[in-house]
Amino acid sequence: MTDEKQTPEEHEDVSLYQKLADRAAEILRDGRKTLDEALKKAGEEVTAGGEYTRERAEKVSTYLRRDLTGVGKKSQQARDAVINAVEPHRVAAGVQSGLAKLLTTAADVLNELAGKSEQVLEFKTGEVTSPGTLTCKDCGKEMHFKSTVKIPPCPSCHKTLFRKSY
């Protein structure tokens, strides 16, 4: 149940999440695209090589967008958590992060969208998300993650719906 091992497919989703975020950040850094356009273009690029299917890229892109949405209205701490998840090498090197710009843009673009629907911020087992704390909606058990992860079932009651905080 609480098996820590990841299947190849799960690992692939986490890698894809990081690739999409990294690429979207680079596209945004050029300054000619909106967040939506950058995410779309990043998705097209990662599927172009045939390594990932379009369906998978779109699904994982949804997870990334949700994390950005959640972070958009949250604190610097939340931003740092996401930045560290996606670009740990840049954080370690102290390099100006493209993702920092992505998150700043996301904050502006997605604030109203985030306020619109709590459902956007409901997290389910099997989805990929950035570091943070997931709280089981059923039993209140908390899981703390320090890296990007594919969400497991609740270790306590085995349910699959969570709230997220940072």
Site for Zn ion in 122-141 (CB under 5 A): 136, 138-139, 141
**Contact in structure between 148 and 17 (CB atoms under 8 Å):** yes
Shortest Å distance, C-beta 158 to Zn ion: 7
**Contact in structure between 88 and 18 (CB atoms under 8 Å):** no
Q: Does 80 bind Zn ion (CB under 5 A)?
A: no
Name residue 133's beta-bridge partners.
144, 165
Of 21-29, 91-99, 118-126, 146-154, which part binds Zn ion (CB under 5 A)?
146-154
**Nearest CB to Zn ion, comparing residues 88 and 155:** 155
Of 14-22, 105-113, 121-129, 155-163, which part binds Zn ion (CB under 5 A)?
155-163
Closest by CA position to 56, among listed 9, 125, 123, 100: 9
C-alpha dist (Å) from residue 22 to 17, 118, 136, 154: 9, 26, 29, 29
Q: Where are the beta strands (DSSP E) in the chain?
A: 123-124, 128-129, 132-136, 142-145, 149-150, 161-165
Shortest Å distance, C-beta 71 to Zn ion: 24
Shortest Å distance, C-beta 139 to Zn ion: 3
Of 60-68, 71-79, 122-130, 147-155, which part binds Zn ion (CB under 5 A)?
147-155
Site residues, Zn ion (CB under 5 A): 136, 138-139, 141, 154, 156-157, 159
